[in-house]
Structure formats: C-alpha cells, structure tokens
C-alpha cells in the first residue's frame, strides 16, 4: 500500500512518513501543493493524506485538480476544525477529514478504512484460501494460528487479497508496495512472493506468467 | 407598550382631534343658541314695540280712561269667568272677549287670530285701530298682538307669547289671556308664569325661570309693558342639536382615531421591520442587511447607519474569526508534531538515539508553541490596552545597538553583511524591553528574507522636531505588491514555506505595529519585490510637548507604502 502525504509542516511531514512506514506502507511526501498534485497525478496511490493550508497551491485546489482525473481516496488532515471547513472539504471531494492534533492510531484506522472501501471491502477481515487476513492488526492467521509475515510481505498479501480473483501486474505491485526512495531491484518482488508461499502454502499465490500474480477466490 | 411611540402618537392625535371637535361643536352650539335667542328677542321686541305703539296710539286719554279701561277689563274678566263657571255664555262674543289677546283665538273656539292678518299690518300709532269703536273695543283690538308677531301659526299654544301691562301705580292694565289662571280651577296652571306685580322691572331683556325670555319696556304715561315667550321649545331643540353634535363628534372621533391608528402603523411598520431585521442579524448571519428600497427618506438614514454598523461588525467578526482560526492552526500544528512524535516513540521499543531524536523534536515543537503563545499574549495585552509598558526616558540607540550585537553571529553565519549607522544619543520615552523586541523582530525578519551574500543596514537618527527614525533596510526578496496591504496583519506571511521553516510565526510585524503604536509612534515600509524592503519606525523624541502628535514623515510613508512601492531603495 502506497500513501502520499502532502504537508507543509516539515516536522510533521517527517514524523508522519516515519510512522506510516513503520505501519508497513510505502510513503511518498510532498511539502507544497504543486509538488503534491504533481505526485498525486503521476502515481496511483492507495490513499493521500492532504493538508489544507499549503504554500503555492492550497489543499482544496489540489483536491479539485486531482478529482478531475482520479478517484484516489483522500484524507484531509488539517487544523481547521469548523463545521463549514469540514463540509467544504468533504464536498470538495475528500473522503475523510481529520483535525490536528490527532492520534496516529486514528489516522491509521481511517486510512485502512479508506483503502478497504476503495477496494470494495466492507469488513476489516478477509477470508481467502483458508487464510484469515485481519487488516486491523495487520496479521494473517491460518487454521487459527498466526503466521509471521514481515510488513512488506503482509502488505503484498493484503493487496492481493483485497483484489482476490484479479491479476495484479508486477508494475502495479511495485508501485503500491515500494515508495520512490527504495531502490527496487526487479527480483525483490519474487523474493517476497516465494517467502509468502513458504509460509502460507505453495498455491496461495498463483503466478500468471507474463501478467502478474493473483490470489484465487 | 407604555413607551410605545405609536401609542403616544395616537394619544396626542386623539387629544388634538378631541380638542378640534369640541371647539367646533361648542362654537356651533353657542352660535345657534345666540341666533335663536336673538330671533326670540327680536320678536319680543317687536311685540313690545307694537304694544307700546298701540298704547300711544290710543286717543288722548287722561288717567281716567285708563282706569276705566282697567276697570272694564277687570269687569270683563270677572264677568266672563262668572258665567263660564255656571253656564253657557249669554253675551255676544265681541263684548265678552274684550280683554282677550290674539293668541287666545287659537283656542278650542277655532276662531282665527283676532288681529289683522300679517299683510294688513296696521301702521301704529298713527291709525286708530277701529275708528268709531268704543273704548272697550278699541282697547280689545289694540291689545291683540297681530299674527305676524306670533310664532308660526301652527306652533303649540304654550309657546305663544304672553304680555302684561301695568299702570304706573302697579295695577295691571292688561294681560294676555294665556296668563290667566285656568278657567275651571283656582289653582295655577304649571305652564302659566308667575309674574309678580311690581312694574319696577328695569327695562330690557330678562329671563324668567330658565326657559322664559321676556322684555320689559316702559309705555306711555308711566305704564310698564312686559312681553314674554316660553323658550322651552328652542331649548329642547338646542339640546337635540347638542346631542347630535355630540353623536357626530363621537363618530368623527372614532373614524379619525381608526384612521390615525392605520396611519401611525404605516409610520411604525417600517421601523418595526428594521428592528426585526436587525434583531435577526446575529453573529451567525452578519451578511444580512436591512432592505432600504421602499423606505422613507428619514428611515433610509437610520437603515444605512445600521447597515454600515453591521458592515463594520461583520468585518471585525471576520478578522476575529480568521485570527482565531489562524491562531488555532499555528498552535495545533506543533501540537500535532509533538503528539505524533510521542505516540510513535511509545508504539514500540526504540534505541536511545531514536528517543533522543524524539525528545529533541518535541522540545523544538514546544519551543515553537511557547514563542507563539508569547506573541499571542503580547498582542492580546496590547489589544486590551494592558501592555503596561514601563515608560521611562531612555537612549534608543543603546537599545538598538544591543539587539544588533545579538544578531551579529547569526548574520555572520548566514553570510549577510550587517552595517549600522546609529549616530548620537536618541532620547525617547519608552519601555526598553518592548523597544528591543521591535528592533529584534525587524532585524529577524530582514535576516529571514535576505539570502546569503545580501546586506542589511540599520540606521537611527533624530530628525529634529519630527522625532527619531529607525530604518532597517535589506536586500532580500522584498514584499510582493499584492501582499503589501497585509504585511501588518496577524498571521500574514509573505512566503509561508520559507518563513515557517525559519521559525517565523506570522506575528512579528503585527507585534511591532502594536508596540510602536503603544509608544505613540508610527511604523511603515517601502519595498520593491525581489530587491529589498525598508522598514521605518518613527518615535517622538523625549521632551516634545505633544508626544501623541503623528510623525509627518511616517504618515506619508504609510500612505505611500501600499500604493507605490517605488519609494523603496533597493539594497541599502
């Protein structure tokens, strides 16, 4: 899962990115509106965390331009807490609204919900191929026993599980699992997939040669 | 409702209306009454004159014929009363009726008035009424009032005039029939006036009882003539008139009051509307205004004043709410940083280095909040007039010098050339700490916006009577034309990103302005974008007679600042 954080407060941007990475997300950052819209338009993020008071281009303008072409879930993270502000934000195309100061745990929960809903999933647990994936705890269990997955492995499983039955291309997987700062070697994905197969069973992930990977429903 | 304008208007209106109606009706009544009385008096006078002339017109008589007449009258009266009491009259009517005056002829007998018809009015006293007649006939004829002097022939009998003539010695010479007591009883009829005997009534008009009008004239040879007429019918008519006037007045009053109530409503209604609209305009919907179209000229003024007031209120509410929202944003952001750092640090075990980093970040956020709270408090105190500066005579040059020294290392580290021209002593009255803050805010700003290799020049000089001027000039990025009007606004930042990354919180210049104004000074600037900015602070010199007097240079500077940025000298 790859997330874009647009925030002009550098301290906050830094700590948010760090916290999200620790949660297993791939995180890109932007410090002003122009950079934000540039990144948001260039990649398919799973979610965008957007501040409203931004230099160069305000959060609302970024949202307006983004909505012209993309349906990426957007969570507005701002210090403006009045009802008219929230209404304007949500009506302007945002999917959620969180006021500063905030609890990281709430931000994470809201992001999980946004990503889940964007993939047409209503409940936080996914049952697939005898494996239960709990998106709240970011954990997978098989036959009642917890399976130890790394954050990146879990993210890969969750991504395929959310889109079970579909083939997800390697490019897409790279885009969603790694942020731009990571040097993505072409075989890194294969390493993760084989690790997952070792832990959850050989048939859990199907390889569609020339297309990508999928988890069958 | 007691203090209701409309009610008061109505009460006054009612009072005026009542006064007018009463005055009109009263005048009409009095006029009518006088008219009636005058008519009656004229008639009485005519009758009396007629009788007087009749008496004069009788053939020359000495005392005796008068007495004989009197006797004859009395005899006739007693003689007439006698036979009537006891049986049908035996005498011929002419003799029997001798003393009867004309009005009597309206009686049951059905005869027409004995007097000559109106067209046959005799020209008394020249013509003897009935030549050749005997004294008794003559008197009888003479003592008959002609019909023209009576009321309308169909007027009721009790309204007929009556008369009585006394001889000089007080004996009654003649009286009209309707003064006689009733024929069948000795008791007095209630409608017969009790006319006393003395002939000594002063001549002229008089009232007998409230409803009889009489005239007294002196006749020939000391006789006295009294002619009277009941005035009751006229009085009743007048009473009716009075009631009609009263009723009509009431109707006019009611209609007038109703109309007045409607008119007063048309006056108070717009006021009510204005009041309703004004009361509906609250902090939530300050954008609403009172509709002035369709209002009267007088009310448009009021509505316009109110609208202007709402305009100002809205503006100040807007500024206030923007300030609050900005302040909360500025406070929440470091709070969010602090919160996120702490939460993340606690999420799992960390290395000592990570904890140290977290604590350092928290400290930085806390320091930023501290500065902000400090600035907000100072502004709040300045707004409330509670800055409580410890004014004393001080040397401004010293204050500026200290601040510049503090900033020298920072300027050197940023590669900015810092030059000063502080000159001689500059005595001003002020608070050293607050003035130091003004200088450090200006200098801090200059450093923040001046790139490496730039220059900052600080000059201070006393300008004679104009006061002292501190100039801080830099070769930085300047202030964009569209931003120049907002420079002294709270939380305004020309370049948010750069300013914030260097610790600015958007309050520095706002604080400077408040502080300088608290010192009765002026602050202004000129700037050319991308070339630099020049800030000027003018303070009155200590010892000036009027320290609150605006400094001319500073005012001109301020006025020109927003319009023309050309005054600014790039690179001081």
DSSP symbols for B371-393: HHHHHHHHHHHHHTT------EE
Report which of residues B285 and A131 the model is more confident about.
A131
**pLDDT grade for B93, boundaries at 50, 70 and 90:** very low
Rounded average pLDDT over B320-343: 86
Q: How far from the centroid of its chain's Cα atoms is residue B354's Cα?
A: 79
Report which of residues B493 and B560 the model is more confident about.
B493
Q: Are residues B462 and B358 in the same domain?
A: no
Contacts of A80 by beta carbon, 8 Å cutoff, 6+ apart:
A52, A53, A99, B325, B329
Q: What is the DSSP letter of B541?
A: B
Rounded average pLDDT over B399-413: 91
Q: How far from the centroid of its chain's Cα atoms is residue B321's Cα?
A: 40
Of B502, B207, B176, A35, which Cα lies nearest the Cα of A5? Answer: A35
Upstream peptide bond of A101 is cis (omega within 30 degrees of 0): yes
Rounded average pLDDT over B394-402: 90
Q: What is the pLDDT of residue B518?
A: 85
Q: Are residues B41 and B143 in the same domain?
A: yes
Report which of residues B72 and A127 the model is more confident about.
A127
Query: Could you say which of B386, B404, B426 is where a domain stops?
Result: B386
Does A125-214 match A2-118 at the fold level?
Answer: no
In a domain, B209, yes or no: no
In a domain, B163, yes or no: no
Phi/psi at A202 (5° precision): -65, -30
**pLDDT grade for B112, boundaries at 50, 70 and 90:** very low
Chains A and B form CB pairs within 8 A to the count of: 72
Q: What is the pLDDT of residue A17?
A: 93
Q: What is the DSSP letter of A105?
A: H
Phi/psi at B160 (5° precision): -65, 150
Q: Which residues from chain A sit within 8 angstroms of residue B343, using beta carbons?
A: 19, 103-105
**pLDDT grade for B385, boundaries at 50, 70 and 90:** confident
**Contact call for B365 and A16, based on CB within 8 A:** no
Q: Residue B392 pLDDT > 60, yes or no?
A: yes
Q: Are residues B382 and B395 in the same domain?
A: no
Q: Are residues B97 and B10 in the same domain?
A: yes
Q: How many CB atoms lie within 10 A of CB B108?
A: 5
Phi/psi at B296 (5° precision): -75, 160
Q: Are residues B462 and B361 in the same domain?
A: no
In a domain, B172, yes or no: no
The tens digit of pLDDT for each residue in B139-160 reads 555 555 655 555 555 556 666 7
Q: Are residues B313 and B406 in the same domain?
A: no
Residues of A (39-98) whose Cβ lies below 8 Å from B: 53, 55-56, 78-82
CB-closest option in A12, A22, A55 to B336: A12
Give the chain B residue nearest A11 (alpha carbons): B337
Cα gap A52→A84, rounded to integer Å: 14
The tens digit of pLDDT for each residue in B155-203 reads 566 667 788 887 777 777 777 766 655 455 555 555 555 666 555 567 8
Average pLDDT, chain A: 86
> What residue segments make up the domains of chain A, in order of their start?
2-118, 125-214
The tens digit of pLDDT for each residue in B80-91 reads 433 333 333 333
Rounded average pLDDT over B32-53: 86
- CATH code of the domain covering residue B349: 1.10.287
Q: Residue B79 pLDDT > 70, yes or no?
A: no
Residue ranges making up the domain that contains B518: 387-567
Question: How far does B336 lie from chain A, in Å, by closest CA?
Answer: 4
**pLDDT grade for B531, boundaries at 50, 70 and 90:** confident
Q: What is the pLDDT of residue B282?
A: 75
Query: Could you say which of B325, B358, B386 is where a domain stops?
Result: B386
Q: What is the pLDDT of residue B115?
A: 39
Give the chain A residue nearest B364 (alpha carbons): A11
**Contact call for B325 and A100, based on CB within 8 A:** no
In a domain, B269, yes or no: no
Q: What is the pLDDT of residue B180?
A: 57
Q: Residue A111 pLDDT > 90, yes or no?
A: yes
Q: Is A32 on the interface with B (CB under 8 A)?
A: yes
Q: Is A118 on the interface with B (CB under 8 A)?
A: no
Give the chain B residue nearest A51 (alpha carbons): B333
Whether residue A51 contacts residue A28, with contact meaning beta carbons closer than 8 Å, is answered with no
Kindly state the percentage of chain B with pLDDT values over 90.
Answer: 14
DSSP count for chain B of H helices, then E strands = 12, 12
Q: Are residues B468 and B334 in the same domain?
A: no
Q: How far apart are the first and last CA of chain A?
A: 21
Q: What is the pLDDT of residue B317?
A: 85
Rounded average pLDDT over B246-265: 90
CB-closest option in B332, B361, B497 to A31: B497
Cα gap B202→B154, rounded to integer Å: 33
Rounded average pLDDT over B445-467: 85
Least confident range of B37-51, B123-137, B337-351: B123-137
Question: How far does B332 lie from chain A, in Å, by closest CA?
Answer: 6
Q: How many CB atoms lie within 10 A of CB A103?
A: 12
The tens digit of pLDDT for each residue in A124-176 reads 888 887 888 888 888 888 888 888 888 888 888 888 888 888 888 888 888 88
Point out which residues pair with B457 in neighbouring strands: B419, B473
Rounded average pLDDT over B94-108: 35
Average pLDDT, chain B: 74
Query: Could you say which of B239, B267, B299 is where a domain stops?
Result: B239
Cα gap B29→B339, rounded to integer Å: 97
In B303-441, where do the E strands start and end?
392-395, 417-421, 427-430
Q: Are residues B83 and B140 in the same domain?
A: yes
Least confident range of A102-106, B67-71, B265-269, B512-516: B67-71
Least confident range of B341-355, B465-479, B484-498: B484-498
> Could you give the dihedral angle defined by the CA atoms of residues B427, B429, B432 and B437, in that order, rounded to the nearest 10 degrees?
-100
Least confident range of B96-110, B200-214, B273-287: B96-110
Q: What is the pLDDT of residue A151?
A: 82
Q: Are residues B342 and B313 in the same domain?
A: yes
Contacts of B27 by beta carbon, 8 Å cutoff, 6+ apart:
none
The tens digit of pLDDT for each residue in B489-505 reads 888 776 655 555 555 67
Of B32, B43, B52, which Cα lies nearest the Cα of B214? Answer: B43
Q: Residue B229 pLDDT > 70, yes or no?
A: yes
Q: Are residues B296 and B444 in the same domain?
A: no
Of B165, B125, B121, B170, which Cα lies nearest the Cα of B143? Answer: B165
Q: Residue B312 pLDDT > 80, yes or no?
A: yes
**pLDDT grade for A77, boundaries at 50, 70 and 90:** very high
Q: Residue B43 pLDDT > 70, yes or no?
A: yes
**Contact call for B332 and A99, based on CB within 8 A:** yes
Rounded average pLDDT over B259-276: 84
Rounded average pLDDT over B300-325: 86
Least confident range of B54-63, B364-373, B560-569: B560-569
Whether residue B157 contacts residue B103, with contact meaning beta carbons closer than 8 Å, is answered with yes
Count of domains forming chain B: 3
Q: What is the pLDDT of residue A13?
A: 92
**Contact call for A18 and B501, based on CB within 8 A:** no
Rounded average pLDDT over B243-268: 89
Q: How many CB atoms lie within 10 A of CB B449?
A: 22
Exposure b/e, A138-159, CB count within 10 A at least 16 = b: bebeeeeeebebeebbbbbbbb
Rounded average pLDDT over B360-368: 90
Q: Which residues from chain B sit within 8 angstroms of residue A22, using beta carbons?
A: 344, 347-348
Rounded average pLDDT over B111-125: 37
In a domain, B132, yes or no: yes
Q: What is the pLDDT of residue B100?
A: 38
**pLDDT grade for B101, boundaries at 50, 70 and 90:** very low
Q: What is the pLDDT of residue B142?
A: 53
**Contact call for A12 and B337, based on CB within 8 A:** yes
Q: Is B366 on the interface with A (CB under 8 A)?
A: no
What superfamily in CATH does domain A2-118 come from? Response regulator (3.40.50.2300)
CB-closest option in A31, A80, A102 to B325: A80
The tens digit of pLDDT for each residue in A18-37 reads 999 888 888 999 988 999 99
Q: Residue A1 pLDDT > 70, yes or no?
A: yes
The tens digit of pLDDT for each residue in A50-69 reads 998 888 888 899 999 999 98
Kindly state the percentage of chain A with pLDDT values over 90.
Answer: 30
CATH number of A125-214: 1.10.10.10
């Amino acid at each position: 899962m790859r997330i874009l954080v647009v925030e002009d407060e550098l301290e906050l941007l830094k700590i948010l990115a760090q916290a999200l990475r620790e949660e297993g997300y791939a995180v890109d950052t932007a410090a002003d509106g122009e950079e934000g819209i540039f990144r948001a338009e260039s990649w398919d993020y799973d979610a965008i965390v957007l501040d409203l008071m931004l230099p160069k281009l305000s959060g609302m303008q970024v949202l307006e331009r983004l909505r012209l072409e993309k349906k990426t879930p957007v969570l507005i993270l701002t210090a403006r807490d009045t009802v008219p502000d929230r209404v304007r934000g949500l009506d302007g195309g945002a999917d959620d609204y969180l006021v500063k100061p905030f609890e990281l745990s709430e931000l994470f929960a809201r992001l999980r919900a946004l990503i889940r809903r964007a993939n047409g999933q209503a409940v936080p647990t996914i049952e697939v191929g005898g494996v239960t994936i709990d998106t709240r705890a970011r954990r997978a269990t098989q036959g009642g026993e917890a399976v130890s997955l790394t954050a990146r492995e879990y993210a890969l499983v969750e991504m395929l599980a959310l889109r079970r039955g579909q083939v997800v291309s390697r490019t897409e997987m790279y885009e969603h699992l790694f942020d731009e700062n990571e040097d993505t070697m072409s075989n890194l994905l294969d390493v993760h997939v084989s690790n997952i197969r070792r832990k959850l069973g050989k048939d859990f992930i199907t390889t569609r040669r020339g297309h990508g990977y999928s988890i069958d429903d | 409702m007691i203090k209701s304008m409309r009610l008061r208007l109505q009460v006054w209106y009612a009072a005026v209306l009542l006064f007018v109606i009463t005055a009109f009706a009263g005048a009409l009544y009095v006029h009518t009454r006088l008219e009636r009385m005058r008519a009656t008096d004229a008639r009485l006078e005519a009758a009396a004159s007629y009788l007087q002339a009749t008496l004069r017109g009788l053939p020359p008589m000495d005392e005796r014929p008068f007495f004989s007449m009197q006797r004859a009258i009395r005899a006739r009266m007693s003689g007439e009363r006698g036979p009537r009491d006891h049986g049908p009259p035996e005498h011929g009517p002419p003799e029997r009726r001798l003393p009867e005056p004309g009005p009597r002829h309206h009686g049951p007998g059905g005869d027409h008035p004995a007097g000559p018809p109106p067209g046959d009015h005799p020209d008394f006293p020249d013509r003897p009424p009935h030549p050749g007649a005997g004294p008794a006939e003559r008197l009888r004829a003479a003592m008959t009032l002609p019909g023209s002097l009576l009321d309308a022939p169909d007027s009721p009998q009790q309204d007929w005039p009556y008369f009585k003539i006394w001889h000089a010695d007080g004996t009654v010479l003649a009286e009209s029939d309707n003064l006689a007591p009733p024929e069948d009883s000795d008791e007095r009829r209630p409608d017969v006036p009790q006319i006393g005997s003395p002939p000594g009534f002063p001549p002229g008009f008089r009232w007998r009882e409230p409803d009889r009008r009489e005239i007294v004239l002196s006749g020939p040879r000391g006789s006295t003539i009294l002619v009277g007429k009941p005035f009751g019918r006229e009085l009743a008519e007048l009473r009716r008139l009075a009631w009609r006037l009263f009723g009509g007045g009431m109707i006019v009053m009611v209609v007038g009051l109703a109309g007045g109530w409607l008119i007063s409503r048309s006056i108070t209604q717009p006021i009510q509307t204005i009041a309703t609209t004004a009361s509906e305009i609250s902090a939530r919907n300050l954008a609403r205004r009172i509709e002035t179209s369709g209002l009267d000229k007088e009310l448009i003024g009021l509505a316009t004043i109110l609208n202007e007031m709402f305009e100002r209120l809205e503006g100040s509410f807007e500024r206030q709410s923007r300030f609050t929202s900005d302040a909360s944003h500025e406070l929440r952001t470091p709070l969010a940083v602090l919160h996120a750092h702490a939460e993340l640090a606690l999420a799992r075990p960390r290395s000592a280095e990570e904890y140290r980093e977290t604590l350092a970040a928290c400290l930085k956020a806390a320091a930023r909040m501290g500065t902000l709270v400090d600035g907000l408090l100072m502004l709040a105190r300045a707004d409330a007039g509670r800055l409580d500066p410890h004014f004393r005579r001080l040397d401004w040059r010293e204050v500026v010098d200290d601040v510049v020294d503090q900033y020298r290392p920072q300027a050197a580290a940023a590669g900015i050339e810092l030059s000063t021209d502080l000159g001689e002593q500059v005595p001003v009255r002020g608070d050293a700490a607050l003035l130091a803050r003004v200088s450090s805010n200006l200098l801090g700003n200059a450093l923040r916006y001046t790139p490496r290799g730039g220059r900052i020049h600080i000059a201070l000089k006393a300008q004679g009577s104009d006061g002292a001027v501190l100039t801080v000039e830099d070769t930085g990025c300047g202030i964009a034309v569209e931003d120049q009007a907002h420079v002294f606004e709270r939380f305004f930042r020309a370049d948010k990103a750069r300013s914030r990354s260097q610790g600015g919180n958007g309050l520095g210049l706002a604080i400077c302005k408040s502080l300088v104004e608290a010192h009765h000074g002026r602050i202004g600037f000129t700037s050319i974008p991308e070339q630099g900015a020049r800030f000027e602070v003018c303070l009155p010199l200590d010892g000036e007679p009027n320290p609150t007097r605006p400094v001319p240079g500073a005012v001109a500077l301020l006025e020109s600042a927003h319009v023309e940025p050309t005054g600014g000298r790039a690179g001081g």
